[in-house]
Homo-oligomer: A and B are copies of this chain.
Amino acid sequence: MHELFATRASRMKASEIRELLKLLDQPGIISFAGGIPDPELFPADGFSEAFQAALGPEQQAQALQYSVSEGYVPLREWLVGHMREIGVECGLDNILITSGSQQALDYLGKLYLSPGDTALVGWPTYLGALSAFNAYEPRFDRLSINGNRGAAEYKAAAGAGAVKFAYLSPDFANPTGETVDLRGREALLDLADDLNCALIEDGAYQALRYDGDAIPPILALELARKGSIEDCRTIYCGSFSKTLSPGLRVGWVVAPKPVISQLVLMKQAADLHSATINQMAIDQVARACFDTHIPMVRRAYSARRDAMLQALQEHMPEGVQWTKPEGGMFIWVTLPVGMDGADLLASALETVKIAFVPGKAFFPDGTGANTIRLSFSNSDEDAIREGVRRLGEVLRG
Q: Which residues of A contact B (CB under 8 A)?
A: 1-2, 4-9, 12-15, 18, 21-22, 34, 36-37, 39-40, 42, 44, 47-48, 51-52, 55, 60-69, 98-100, 102-103, 106, 110-114, 117, 128, 131-132, 134-136, 162, 164-165, 196-198, 233, 241, 245-249, 256, 258-259, 262, 265-266, 268-278
Q: A4-B164, A60-B44, A136-B6 are in contact. Are A14 and B65 (CB under 8 A)?
A: no
Contact B34 A44 (CB under 8 A): no
Contact A112 B233 (CB under 8 A): no
Q: A248-B277, A266-B135 are in contact. Are A47 and B64 (CB under 8 A)?
A: yes
A277 and B39 CA atoms in complex are apart in Å by 13
A112 and B111 CA atoms in complex are apart in Å by 19
Which residue from B55, B69, B278 sits with its C-beta under 8 Å from A48? B55
Chain B residues within an 8 Å CB radius of A48: 52, 55, 60
Q: A60-B44, A64-B44, A66-B34 are in contact. Are A270 and B106 (CB under 8 A)?
A: yes
Chain B residues within an 8 Å CB radius of A259: 1
Q: A52-B48, A66-B246 are in contact. Are A265 and B4 (CB under 8 A)?
A: no
Tell me the number of copies of this protein.
2
Contact B1 A258 (CB under 8 A): yes
Query: Nearest Cβ in chain B — how far from A104, in angstroms?
Result: 9
Contact B106 A271 (CB under 8 A): yes
Task: A18-B69, A65-B247 given; name 5 further pairs at CB < 8 Å.
Answer: A1-B198, A4-B197, A67-B247, A106-B271, A277-B278
Q: List 15 A-B contacts (CB under 8 A).
A: A1-B233, A1-B259, A12-B262, A21-B66, A44-B60, A47-B55, A47-B64, A66-B246, A99-B99, A106-B270, A131-B265, A131-B268, A131-B269, A249-B273, A277-B278
Chain B residues within an 8 Å CB radius of A246: 64-66
Query: Nearest Cβ in chain B — how far from A163, in angstroms?
Result: 9
Contact B12 A277 (CB under 8 A): no
Query: Nearest Cβ in chain B — how far from A386, in angstroms?
Result: 22
Contact B262 A275 (CB under 8 A): no
Contact B275 A249 (CB under 8 A): yes
A113 and B135 CA atoms in complex are apart in Å by 12
Query: Nearest Cβ in chain B — how far from A356, in angstroms?
Result: 17
Contact B132 A270 (CB under 8 A): yes
Chain B residues within an 8 Å CB radius of A113: 6
Chain B residues within an 8 Å CB radius of A61: 39-40, 42, 44
Chain B residues within an 8 Å CB radius of A18: 68-69, 268
Contact A4 B106 (CB under 8 A): no
Chain B residues within an 8 Å CB radius of A274: 99, 249
Which of A4, A136, A266, A276 gathers the greatest number of chain B CB atoms within 10 Å? A4
Chain B residues within an 8 Å CB radius of A22: 68
Contact B248 A64 (CB under 8 A): yes
Q: A135-B110, A135-B270, A266-B135 are in contact. Are A39 and B64 (CB under 8 A)?
A: yes
Contact B102 A271 (CB under 8 A): yes
